[in-house]
Structure 1
Amino acid sequence: MQRRLYFLLPDIETTHKVVEKLLLARISEDQMYVVARHSADTSGLPEAGITETSHLAGAAERGAAAGAVTGVVAGLTALVFPPAGIAIGGGVVAATGLAGAGFGAWMSSMIGIRHDNPQLESYQEAIDNGQVLMMVDLPADRVEEIENTVRDNYPGADIQGTDPHKPAFP
């Protein structure tokens, strides 16, 4: 199981050092995400993308679930009340459920991409004040090791804890 570790770093220079240390600890850049204020020079750092900074993943997951339920209900309705005497089988229920899940995920992701990730909103003031938020996706059994590495080597780092799991979508 993956976990996302959050910590605040005092500045960009420290962030570069932490990234180097994590690379030496066999954490790839694909597992690191940095969020800093817009005026900060983050070149050479693994910047967070739209999936980390927006509400895309959460919205798509909820949309897929709602769409699947709606699709299954529509399929069951068509099964019970077939239109114009057309014979409908159980495959229609599965097909409408899958179609509903896909449509729901797509529509919800279009809405979610326009909203900030609520997890990051709590860090916005620190980011605006010049601190750098770093997120690292790790196997659950390495979280304590990486926390200790950061804490021991960079006393200015403020470890904020972990998410219970890394978002699975997209």
Structure 2
Amino acid sequence: MRKRIYWLLPDLGSARRTMDELLLARVTEHHIHFVAREGAAMDGLHPANVLQTSDLVEAAQAGALIGSGLGAAGGVAAAFAFDPGSPAALVIGIAAVGAMLGTWSSSMIGSSTPSRRLKRFERAVDDGQYLLIVDVPRTRVSQIEALLQRTHPEARFEGMEPNVPAFP
């Protein structure tokens, strides 16, 4: 399991130095993400992608849940209406189709919705600061925090999330 740590850095130079220090501390680039205002220089940084900056994952999960529930309800109604040979297979099949359609349609909406987790950083990012999002194993959280506090007094620790989504 990993924890997601947030730091605000004042400028591009500080962000680059932080990136280099995290790489030297053996945090892989795949787990280091930066968010900056639109049009800001991101040379030498690993920018956050749509999985970190939108509500895509949460929307897809909600869509799967709602779609499968509605599909199951539709499957039960269809089983009563058509008297199929295997009502359980019909209910499961329609629930699966509902889950797929719900996931697809909700993820389309979620990918265009800014992340609720990053909402609190909007003002700082708009003012030109760089947001560092780093996912570290639970056993290394205190080590990485101490490294950043020691080497970057200009940076501001902004908290952590206890649970990092599985794939972003």
Same fold (TM over 0.5): yes
Which portions of structure 1, spanning 4 or more consecutive aligned residues, are displaced by more than 2 angstroms? 76-79, 85-89
- 1:23 and 2:56 equivalent? no
CA distance in 1, matches of 2:84, 2:41: 63
1:130 is displaced (CA, Å) by 1.3
TM-score (norm 2): 0.93
| Structure 2 counterpart of 1:98, from 96, 99, 104 | 96
**Structure 1 residue corresponding to 2:135, chosen from 134, 137, 148:** 137
Q: Structure 1: state its 5+ residue gaps.
A: none
Change (3 A) 1:106 1:169: farther
Aligned to 2:61: 61
Deviation (angstroms), 1:169: 4.9
Q: In percent, how many aligned pairs have the same letter?
A: 38
- AA aligned to 1:8 is L
Query: Which residue number in structure 1 is paired with residue 46 of structure 2?
Result: 46
- Between 112-121 and 85-94, report the one with greater CA deviation: 85-94
Q: SS in structure 2 opposite 1:44?
A: coil
Are the counterparts in 2 of residues 61 and 169 from structure 1 also a CA contact under 8 Å?
Answer: no
| RMSD, aligned CA | 1.4
Structure 1: distance between partners of 2:21 and 2:114: 29
- Residue number in structure 1 paired with 2:115: 117
* Unpaired stretches in structure 2, ≥5 consecutive residues: none
Aligned residue pairs total 168
Relative distance call for 1:62 and 1:113 in structure 2 (3 A) is same
TM-score calculated relative to the size of structure 1: 0.92
* Matched residue, 1:126: 124
